[in-house]
Each structure stands twice: as C-alpha cells, then as structure tokens.
C-alpha cells in the first residue's frame, strides 16, 4: 500500500483555523484599540469641559489670590474623596483646591507651562488611579502662571473598558467557533465529490463497469477524464496483448503441426524440416517480441531520444559490416523524437542496414530534409540508397512478415515488418518511394517529436 501524505481535510482545516485565528486576533486588537480610544476620548472630553468651566469662572481677588466668581456645577467637587477633583496652583501663591480633595493635594509641578490641555494617568493616590488634565493660564490682573488641574478617578473608565473587552472576547470566541464549524462543513461538503469518485472506482472494480460516467463537479472532471483515458489505455493494451498472443499462437500452430506430422511419419528429412520450421517460428517470436517491447516502453511514460546521436551510433555499427559503403548524414542535429532510444536505434539500424545491403555502395540519411512536408508534430527522416530500388507495385507487400524481394542475400524478411509495427505503435508512419538523387529506394520515416 503506497504511503499517504496526510489528509486533505486536515490540511484545509489547519489552514482555515490558522487564518481565522490570525484574522480574529488582528481584528480583535484593532477593535479593542478603537473602542478603548473612543471611551477614553469621551472621558477626556468631560475633563476638558470641567477644565474650561474652571478657567471661565476664575478671577483674581484684591489680595492677588485666585477665586471662582460662581460655583462649579458638579456636586462631586463638594464631596470628600468623591473621585472628582480640581486644583489651581501658582508659584508663590497658596493652592486653591476643591473640597473633595479634603486633606490631599494633587502633585502637579508649578514650574512648567502647558499652553494646551495636557492629559495623563497618575497613581499618586493610593488605591485610586487618576486621569489628570492640566493647563497653564495667565489670568487678567495677575502675572503668575496658574496651573489649572482637574482629575477624575479612572475606575469608571477602566470598568467600561473591561466590560466591552469581555463582550469583545466572548463575541470573537463565538465567531471563531462558528467560522471553524463553517470551515469544517465546507471541507466536508467540498471534498464530498472525491468520496463519490472513490465509490465510482470501487464500482468499476466490483461491477465491471468500463468507465466513470456519473456527473461530477468541473474541478473533479479532469481527474475523471484522465482516469477514463487510463482505463481506455489499459483496455487497449490488454486487447493488444490478447491479439499478439492469439497471432503468435496461430503463427506457431502451423510449424508445430508440420514438425509433428513429419515426426509421426518418420520423414527421412525430419532434421531439415525441424530446422526450417524452427527458423520460421523464431521469426514469428522475434516479431511479436519486438512489438511487445515497443508497447511496453510506450506505456511506461513520456519517451525521448535524440535523433542525431542515434544515427551516428548506427552508422558506426553498420560501417563495420559494410566497410566499402559510403555513408552520408545531413539535416537537423537537434531533432528529438518521442521514442525510447533503443527502439529508435533498432528502427534506424534495420533501415540503414537494408540500404547498405541492397544498395550499390552509397547511403544518404537526412533529418528533416527541405523537400519533406513540414510538420511541427512529426520529425521526418529520409534514408536513400543507390540500389535497384523496389517497384511501386511491390512496395505495399514488402512490409508483410517474411516478405523478401531478393532471396539471394541472407535475412529473415522481418526487418521492415518490425519497423512498420513499432513506428505505428508510437504513432508514426513509414513510406517507400524512389530516391531522386541516388536512384534507389527512399524510405520516409515519420516519428512524433518530443515535447519541448
């Protein structure tokens, strides 16, 4: 059983949970900051309103001290330790403060000048955090810099912030759980077609149905199409195997019958009969083995072979057998075809050896010659010789198994038959014609180009 790489559902849920957590945290921090700032600004506006009321009511008495020409409106300034306080301070003058301070004093330095309201937090009162706003003013009739200060307990402000933060955390927690549940439902529903595909494949295995024909989402359709194509390819291979086995059995049946009859009749030429029929059987076996190898290599995956190096290798081998023959090679050196290298060299070896065997001493091979039909899908290889050639009427049957026009030279008559079958398995073609340059046979070999 092949090892798996984990669950798709788990991956999708982990990604969803990660993004939901990150977004909720970022959104929560942003919303918390915005709401806390809004509540704090509203609190500071109340302090600013009280500070302006103090400045508007302040006047200088004949003795040079500050006083209010009217009482401030908030009753809490009159209640000791009420949580709302004010104080006016100037260097060289007595502090003027609210009754709510009682025996306390706001620790505000009088030696600095704040032209605009200055607000800050303070913990100068034990157990009572304060929010303080101060501003420096020079009142009419006085040269002193008076520091007006108003302070309020932060307990109410902190309680408001704590309350909305609790609501925020609870709301975001509920939202996060809801989003995770929705992501889980989406994952389950989104991956449901894959379970449907699994059941369809199981149906193929158990019921013998040839294809997956159930309607599926368009995202899964390419996978099913490739699966159906693979099934069709496998069926074709199985059918080819059955056909090859049947053909081979039929081809071997006659020689075996001849040998059996000769042996039963005690034919005096039994040895010659056995040798002849065994050679015949060997030709059939070689032919079908070559086809089987080509089919197996084609099914193994995307094949790729460079034409020029294979031609040079074949030339070196054939030159040893026909050292008086002149071999010429021309054309595109970068051509690449979608064949296994071994099959390509077997094809070229059969054709070039035939050209050398039956030619008059010259063999010319061209890759993608200028006179060929241009095709971006097919690479064309011309193999020409200066022999007698083959009459046009005889060319179709020369590809049959065992067909030979010149029986005076050694051979089995299977070379061109194997070439045709292997070329067709790979989706190419082979054609015989007359060479215009050399006068002999011209073999036009067309092979599918390899993908770039």
- How do residues 349-366 score in pLDDT, each as one tens digit? 889 998 998 888 899 999
- Mean pLDDT over 127-154 rounds to 90
299, 324, 339 - which closes a domain: 299
Higher pLDDT: 431 or 2? It is 431
Residue 87, pLDDT > 50, answer yes
Interatomic CA distance for residues 128 and 83, integer angstroms: 8
Residue 398 lies in a domain: yes
> What confidence category does residue 414 fall into, taking pLDDT thresholds of 50, 70 and 90?
very low
pLDDT, position 307: 92
The Cα 172–Cα 166 span in angstroms is 10
Could you tell me the two tokens for 370?
Answer: 């200028």
Give 147-202 pLDDT, tens digit per residue.
999 999 999 899 999 998 999 999 999 999 999 999 888 888 887 777 777 777 77
Q: Name, in order, each residue with C-beta under 8 angstroms of 446's C-beta and a sequence gap of 6 or more.
A: 375, 378, 379, 380, 381, 423, 428, 429, 430, 431
Helices 415-425 + 341-358 axis angle, to 10: 150
The answer on 308 and 444 residing in a single domain is yes
> For position 310, which CATH number holds?
3.30.565.10
- Indicate the DSSP class of residue 314: H
pLDDT above 80 (res 277): no
pLDDT score of 407: 42
What integer pLDDT is reported at residue 3 of this predicted model? 62
Q: Out of 16-30, 41-55, 197-211, 278-292, pick the least confident.
A: 278-292
If you average pLDDT over each of 171-180, 227-236, 243-252, which comes out highest?
A: 171-180
Give first-to-last CA distance, the chain, whole Å.
34
Q: How confident is the model at residue 300 (pLDDT cuts 50, 70, 90)?
A: very low
Report the CATH number at residue 115.
3.30.450
Give the number of domains in the chain.
3
Average pLDDT over residues 193-218: 72
For residues 404 and 318, membership in a common domain is answered with yes
Provide the sign of the torsion angle of the four alpha carbons 99, 101, 103, 107, taken in this order. Answer: negative
CA distance 251 to 110: 120
The Cα–Cα gap between 330 and 382 comes to 10
Q: Strand 84-89: give its sheet, edge to edge.
A: 96-97, 84-89, 146-153, 128-137, 118-125
Instruction: Decide if 171 is inside a domain.
Output: no
Range of the domain at 419: 302-448
319 in the same domain as 281? no
Q: Are residues 45 and 147 in the same domain?
A: yes
């Amino acid at each position: 059983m092949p090892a798996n790489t984990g669950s798709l559902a788990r991956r999708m849920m982990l990604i969803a949970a990660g993004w939901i957590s990150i977004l909720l945290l970022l959104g929560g921090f942003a919303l918390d900051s915005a709401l806390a700032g809004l509540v704090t600004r509203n609190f500071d506006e109340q302090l600013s309103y009280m500070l302006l009321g103090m400045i508007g009511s302040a006047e200088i008495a004949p003795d040079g001290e500050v006083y209010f020409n009217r009482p401030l409106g908030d009753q809490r300034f009159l209640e000791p330790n009420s949580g709302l306080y004010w104080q006016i301070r100037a260097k060289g003058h007595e502090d003027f403060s609210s009754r709510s301070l009682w025996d306390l004093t706001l620790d505000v330095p009088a030696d600095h000048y704040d032209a605009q309201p200055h607000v800050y937090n303070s913990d100068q009162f034990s157990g009572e955090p304060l929010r303080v706003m101060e501003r420096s003013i020079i009142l009419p009739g006085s040269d002193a810099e008076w520091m007006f200060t108003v302070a309020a307990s932060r307990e109410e402000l902190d309680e408001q912030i704590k309350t909305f933060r609790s609501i925020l955390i609870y709301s975001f927690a509920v939202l996060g759980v809801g989003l995770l549940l929705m992501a889980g439902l989406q994952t389950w529903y989104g991956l449901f077609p894959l379970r449907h595909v699994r059941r369809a494949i199981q149906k193929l295995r158990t019921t013998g149905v040839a294809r997956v024909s159930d309607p599926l989402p368009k995202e899964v359709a390419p996978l099913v199409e490739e699966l159906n194509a693979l099934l069709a390819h496998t069926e074709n291979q199985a059918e080819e195997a059955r056909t090859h086995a049947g053909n081979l059995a039929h081809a071997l049946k006659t020689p075996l019958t001849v040998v059996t009859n000769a042996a039963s009749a005690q034919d005096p030429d039994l040895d010659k009969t056995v040798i002849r029929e065994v050679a015949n059987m060997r030709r059939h076996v070689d032919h079908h083995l070559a086809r089987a190898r080509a089919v197996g290599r084609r099914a193994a995956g995307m094949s790729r072979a460079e034409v020029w190096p294979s031609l040079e290798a074949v030339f070196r081998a054939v030159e040893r057998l026909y050292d008086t023959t002149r071999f010429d090679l021309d054309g595109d050196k970068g051509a690449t075809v979608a064949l296994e290298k071994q099959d390509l060299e077997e094809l070229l070896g059969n054709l070039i050896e035939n050209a050398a065997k039956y030619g008059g001493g010259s063999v010319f091979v061209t890759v993608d010659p200028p006179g060929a039909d241009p095709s971006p899908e097919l690479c064309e290889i011309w193999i020409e010789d200066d022999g007698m050639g083959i009459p046009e009427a005889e060319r179709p049957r020369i590809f049959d198994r065992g067909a030979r026009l010149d029986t005076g030279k050694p051979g089995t008559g299977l070379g061109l038959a194997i070439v045709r079958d292997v070329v067709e398995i790979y989706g190419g073609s082979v054609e015989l014609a007359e060479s215009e340059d050399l006068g002999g046979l011209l073999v036009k070999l067309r092979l599918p180009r390899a993908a770039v």
